[in-house]
Homo-oligomer: A and B are copies of this chain.
Amino acid sequence: MSVHSVNHTNIYYQGADKILLAVDCIIFGFDKNLLKLLLFKRKVEPFKNEWSLIGRFIREDENINNAAEKVLEECTGLNDVFLEQLFCYGDASRDPGGRVVSIAYYALIRLDEQKEQSVEDFHAHWFDVNEVPELILDHNAMIEAAFEKLKQKARVQPIGFELLPEKFTIPNLQALYESIYQVNLDGRNFRKKILSMGILEKLDEKDKTSSKKGAYLYKFNQEKYENLLDKGFGFEI
């Protein structure tokens, strides 16, 4: 990997310890009204073939955010998706394979856009968020933290839409929030609240995959949302 390194002079900071730095990605998806996580069979020792998050070491010349974006793109084929730093895990003994500090990122992706191919290449599998297997190192803790963060953030920012296809029904959206908050919501109140914000655009199209009557499809309208933000509106659900 070090063939990529820029030769930083480091004339000032000689003598300080250098440490292996990694990124690990917690990847959320939403499918068949269930919240999912993408996990991988680890390809290297130690812990080869055990379930784990996907990640790799950061190169010396690489922004940490770019490293996370590249990891995500390599394993899902997607770029330009929601990806945010979560937390930095740095206990000296967290990895018996060596002293590695890991920066965890979490991503929200649209499962319908994802390339099946990439998932298979990486021996990956989508797990229900409530059926995550035992993972290597502190990866289960990372997932816990990411899920907590998602719960908090989804309440005050319209990031739920990052997990849905461009067109979705109100019952889809409700099921998404139910699986994020792990509660049941009242259909009438939910609909009233989300529609009253004025950030959804109703289409003249119905989705009949889950009922005979069919449910109207909606789109999230980013411009309307940003206009409202400017006027001091605060998303909350």
* A residues whose Cβ falls under 8 Å from a Cβ of B: 1-2, 4-6, 8-13, 15-21, 44-46, 57-65, 85, 87-88, 90-92, 97-101, 103
- Please pick, from B17, B64, B87, the residue contacting A85 in the complex, using a CB distance under 8 A: B87
Give the Cβ gap from A177 to chain B, nearest Cβ, in Å: 19
Asked if A99 contacts B60 (CB within 8 A), the reply is yes
Query: How far is A124 from B44 in the complex, measured between Cα atoms in Å?
Result: 47
What residues on B are CB-neighbors of A18 within 8 Å? 18-21, 60
- A13-B8 in contact given A92-B63, A99-B61, A101-B64 (Cβ < 8 Å): no
Give the Cβ gap from A54 to chain B, nearest Cβ, in Å: 16
Asked if A98 contacts B9 (CB within 8 A), the reply is yes
What residues on B are CB-neighbors of A15 within 8 Å? 1-2
Q: By DSSP majority rule, is chain A's interface helix, strand, loop, or mixed? A: loop
What residues on B are CB-neighbors of A20 within 8 Å? 10, 13, 16-19
What residues on B are CB-neighbors of A19 within 8 Å? 18-21, 58, 60
Listed A/B pairs (27) with beta-carbon separation below 8 Å = A1-B17, A6-B99, A8-B98, A10-B98, A11-B97, A12-B44, A12-B97, A13-B100, A16-B20, A16-B57, A17-B57, A17-B58, A18-B20, A18-B21, A18-B60, A21-B90, A21-B101, A60-B92, A60-B99, A61-B92, A61-B99, A62-B92, A63-B90, A64-B90, A65-B90, A88-B88, A88-B103
